[in-house]
Structure 1
């Protein structure tokens, strides 16, 4: 596929599953803004020094020597003759940000160890190779994660962070010139090997499928920085990881092949603000392949229908790289795309600078209620293993809470972790809690997530990595009680105070809707009657000068209003200590404030405008089927909006994911050992709690009085009307396995 892509590029054919949206090259303004963006990235410290680059190469060379000695050692131990031992070989490959050329100082190096068929993953890699590394003084922070979706060994080698995967091929000898991009390498490979090889194969394919590698790299550096600043960079937390962002940026490069990075960044937000998830993002068509391996296909695979934000890898077998995304994390990322789109529009209009796009998201000021997940262990080694395991399972807690509350209680996981210097061998994770936007508010609402939390805590302890002293505690805290160690320098920053405004500018979705409707009415007439032929020139002038028309339209339409009842809706999380948590004149600087669509909007017309995208029904069809083709329309804002709508309306080859409601929660995620008599009682309470919620629409406060109570001491929540809405949570510490 790589050679054909290059040939297409040289013949002027487009890359990707559709034609480009625009072939326009950079303007003088684009050149200037790209220089400003590159300077910002340099000043942000995203480029490593020459000395660090040399050090990384030396570490990779040393690691390659170690794996070659390892494979000879295990070959001799398995009884092979000396000739076979001498021919035995293993090889190191890099992938991810390092292979893409977008890594920064101190970044991990994603590496793949390819071994022969007699070198097993469990015994030889996670046992013998682990032992070899643990005895080396230059290796520190060694942490195996064998139970991950893609098993990995994490460690630092001479201070350089390494994430090492393992792939066992069906070859007796690994050649030095091995090409992992060949499909034949997957012959007779197990599922974990296919996943591990996919990283290298996907990285190479991305570089083959982008029209300009340098522009791709600069844009990807920018988007990675933005995602980290805005708290949406973490695959394990349910957001997107490095490979996901690379695939999204590569798709934008295909759609705007001649654009400079400043325009690519802007178009990234413009396209994905309007993208109709779960339509998949693909760099190339999905191929069945010669080996019969399963590929992503929601038409045939039920599990694929549950994926919220499919981003498909371009190498065979094509997989969804973003399977961890949940309903809540997709909502958060969509809102961040919207914010980025609005800021980029201001940057293009010279009304904002690049630093406004990269402003860090104030996570600990955005919510009034948080879950704090604290873990401890007896020593540093145990803590590192315990932390890796808990971190890989936190996504299931989000899914369980969403499922138990029918999606009414939403979680926002923080992608990082924190450590309290005053406590030894301790880490904390946090999740923001909020009611689903648009959900009706009832005075006696309750969310009872006690059994959900207990089920999660019971399940995570069943791992071979568990040792005495490994404990986990889940507790509820208010915003004002967030511990100081999460803030830079241990100092809580002052809260940003905003008065509630009766009017606000319309969101970019509303503006896009206005432009689409205006374009439609000019194309077919306000009553749906096709315009006469001499109106066509007026249509073209309208679209080419769309920004002026947009301003005129917006000046005569109601703006989206901030709801006065939003603040009162947020106070559904009341403080049971007696003090009022109402902020009558303060609006949280959070996603739910900036992006409306809430049923509490006081202006129904504004709400209608805000919710009018994506357009559906006959008018949408008219936009796409009536009048001149999109490619013939001058590429103004309105025409580009129409082109993006057409692009995202129907996925390639009809590969539309069909959400089945709740996120995927496999039964296998809870080991069978958990289902003893005690856990059966837990499951019974889960059902009772969920039934009670469905009957009363309940919302309960995480009561401080329950923080020290054991689960067995807390009776089921009474179905009586509470004076204050509360969330209930049982918070016991697990320090040993259940009998």
Structure 2
């Protein structure tokens, strides 16, 4: 098997990394752009501070501890499977980070995406059994949750206060040295789909780092976009918005278009380009490449890819769409926010960029819509020592299906649908105050009066069908059983207005009910201003149409009026005199068309000439 792998490696094509297109501008930054960037960097240091050197050192310690635990575990698994001590010692194992942390974003409180790479003797079943037990028993580990049925299985936990997402990959080889070249496409030979996806985490991150020019500017803009997404309710890959890898690729893409631009200008260009991008045209950092290993690369012609609405492709082989969860509805939300953000950035730059608050304002989601739904996910009647694990498993399962409730609402006479991707506490009481643990998410929407039939919007049937589908899927995937199904609940609570939202929710999200009222008044004022402008524009268009019709009619009349006079040049002097005399008579009787024609200087001149000819002829006759 190893010899076969070596022969395959020798035949692998060599990749030449090139951006998908040439830069739009290679101009250096202006002094003004540099000054604006200085203000932007100072703002980000205040609003989204990086970890201190001590905190970063602590993260390095956590990663080192996890690496030690993992390598010792690989050795013990090999011994337990009757491999020799020499084989177990050479088995090795490696730990890599990926995502924003690997790129150098050190936001306070951010998690670390970590990939454990093991040799083929160690399996994913071992990972979710024996390694899980070791981590659960470790004094520094808390809040552990194993998600073995996900597309990319992982174990998530807090290690000494640092949140870690631990993924697993098994290579088709007997040993994994610590300095393995993970960027070599040959590491993918013989791996299963889950390992392939896990390995592509650090592989994608490394290529983004390589393909993004002007890396300090890239990092500053990336920090801005991450903060903007979180403040505006757009940060969640699972719920159909943007996640970490999507932000990384998009910012690198804009940097490629303006490789020497300052961060403040790149930020403006980011929103401009994405606001005008013609989706579903894919965004990619490098030209397509097939390493010849038979792995599926993203292809727009593939049947299941034709419905991807916002493809953002990963640069590593095999290329994948990192935004497959985006729907037409969530794309509309992001496009609206991109347009708004671009207007704000331009206004900020015009004022000297000394204050960036407007761009990073918290979302007004809670006072924007006519109606709201709370989707409550919770567990009841569990023993105390089982409750935390049950809640984590159940909420994770339902969260992956939250997008479908928006799709269900879209079938009703609704518009401006938006799922807010922030996990919130349970805010509504249960009947009889039944104890429960869980979380809630909110959906906002408006009623589309043009599609309404009747006076009431009926949600019950759609919501019951949505819940039934969740329970059916949970039974099929053995997340719950017929016996314990009553313990796992999904509850949809409607609110007829933002005014009906709980006080504690508005306290948490808007700073209180009075602040919410002020925000609502501002939104209503802006809407009325836009509606007035739209009415004025419509009236102007209608007036223009009327004037256009009148102008067309006038042109036609003038053409009719001018048509006879256009024949003047063809009339004899006598004919012109006769016409002129008839027109003068008609004009005297009030015919405006004849009045206009009688005023034609060409006709008058010909008539005058005819009169002179007549007088000359009469004089000649007299002389004769």
Shift of 1:49: 0.6
Residue 351 to residue 177, structure 1, CA distance change in 2 (3 Å): closer
Residue 148 to residue 604, structure 1, CA distance change in 2 (3 Å): farther
* C-alpha distance in 2 between matches for 1:329 and 1:245: 16
**Greater RCO (Cα-Cα under 8 Å, separation 6 or more):** 1
The equivalent residue for 1:411 is 417
* C-alpha distance in 1 between matches for 2:145 and 2:405: 23
* C-alpha distance in 2 between matches for 1:58 and 1:420: 36
Q: Confirm or deny: 8 A CA contact 2:284 2:313 kept in the other structure.
A: yes
* C-alpha distance in 1 between matches for 2:398 and 2:535: 39
The equivalent residue for 1:258 is 260
The equivalent position to 1:75 in structure 2, one of 54, 61, 78, is: 78
Output one character per residue of 1:295-333: Cα deviation in whole Å (capped at 9) or x when no partner.
11112x111111010001111001100001011110000
Shift of 1:488: 4.2
Residue pairs, 1:60-459, within 5 angstroms:
60-121=63-124, 123-299=125-301, 301-350=302-351, 353-377=355-379, 378=382, 379-402=387-410, 404-405=411-412, 411-420=417-426, 425-435=437-447, 440=451, 443=454, 448=459, 449-459=462-472
* C-alpha distance in 2 between matches for 1:339 and 1:384: 36
Output one character per residue of 1:365-389: Cα deviation in whole Å (capped at 9) or x when no partner.
1212222111222322221222222
Q: Confirm or deny: 8 A CA contact 1:414 1:429 kept in the other structure.
A: yes
Output one character per residue of 1:514-558: Cα deviation in whole Å (capped at 9) or x when no partner.
xxxxxxxxxxxxxxxxxxxxxxxxxxxxxxxxxxxxxxxxxxxxx
The equivalent residue for 2:432 is none
Shift of 1:3: 9.3
| 1:29 to 2:29 alignment | no
* C-alpha distance in 2 between matches for 1:35 and 1:67: 43
The equivalent position to 1:476 in structure 2, one of 494, 497, 505, is: 494
Q: Confirm or deny: 8 A CA contact 1:401 1:452 kept in the other structure.
A: no
Output one character per residue of 1:133-154: Cα deviation in whole Å (capped at 9) or x when no partner.
1111210011112222222211
* C-alpha distance in 1 between matches for 2:373 and 2:172: 46
Q: Confirm or deny: 8 A CA contact 1:236 1:392 kept in the other structure.
A: yes
Output one character per residue of 1:230-282: Cα deviation in whole Å (capped at 9) or x when no partner.
11011011101010011110010000011010000000011111101111111
Note the residue ranges of structure 2 that are not aligned, 5 or more in a row.
Answer: 1-12, 430-434, 545-624
Give 1 or 2: higher helix fraction. 2
* C-alpha distance in 1 between matches for 2:100 and 2:196: 20
Output one character per residue of 1:464-519: Cα deviation in whole Å (capped at 9) or x when no partner.
343733222122223222223334458333322145579857xxxxxxxxxxxxxx
The equivalent residue for 2:516 is 494
Residue 228 to residue 39, structure 1, CA distance change in 2 (3 Å): same
* C-alpha distance in 2 between matches for 1:176 and 1:447: 60
Residue pairs, 1:624-639, within 5 angstroms:
none
Q: Confirm or deny: 8 A CA contact 1:376 1:425 kept in the other structure.
A: yes
Residue pairs, 1:514-663, within 5 angstroms:
561-562=533-534, 605=541
The equivalent residue for 1:663 is none
Note the residue ranges of structure 1 that are not aligned, 5 or more in a row.
Answer: 6-14, 506-558, 565-600, 609-739
Q: Confirm or deny: 8 A CA contact 1:419 1:485 kept in the other structure.
A: no
| Structure 1 residue matching 2:344: 3-state secondary structure | helix
* C-alpha distance in 1 between matches for 2:397 and 2:346: 42
* C-alpha distance in 2 between matches for 1:325 and 1:376: 26
Q: Confirm or deny: 8 A CA contact 2:115 2:198 kept in the other structure.
A: yes
Shift of 1:289: 2.0
| Structure 1 residue matching 2:421: 3-state secondary structure | coil
Q: Confirm or deny: 8 A CA contact 2:19 2:285 kept in the other structure.
A: yes
Between the two proteins, the alignment pairs up a number of residues equal to 504
* C-alpha distance in 1 between matches for 2:32 and 2:182: 42
| Structure 2 residue matching 1:416: 3-state secondary structure | strand
Output one character per residue of 1:188-233: Cα deviation in whole Å (capped at 9) or x when no partner.
1111111111111110000110111111111100111111111101
* C-alpha distance in 2 between matches for 1:247 and 1:355: 25
Q: Confirm or deny: 8 A CA contact 1:408 1:439 kept in the other structure.
A: no
- Higher Cα radius of gyration: 2
- TM-score, normalised via structure 2 length: 0.76
| Structure 2 residue matching 1:429: 3-state secondary structure | strand
Q: Confirm or deny: 8 A CA contact 2:289 2:317 kept in the other structure.
A: yes
The equivalent residue for 2:474 is 461
* C-alpha distance in 1 between matches for 2:450 and 2:311: 26
The equivalent position to 2:21 in structure 1, one of 18, 21, 28, is: 18
| Structure 1 residue matching 2:155: 3-state secondary structure | strand
* C-alpha distance in 1 between matches for 2:129 and 2:541: 64
CA RMSD, 1 decimal: 2.7
* C-alpha distance in 1 between matches for 2:14 and 2:256: 15
Residue 151 to residue 44, structure 1, CA distance change in 2 (3 Å): same
Q: Which moved more, 1:414-423 or 1:474-483?
A: 414-423
Residue 560 to residue 605, structure 1, CA distance change in 2 (3 Å): farther
Shift of 1:341: 0.8
| Structure 1 residue matching 2:35: 3-state secondary structure | helix
Residue 443 to residue 25, structure 1, CA distance change in 2 (3 Å): farther
Q: Confirm or deny: 8 A CA contact 1:154 1:164 kept in the other structure.
A: yes
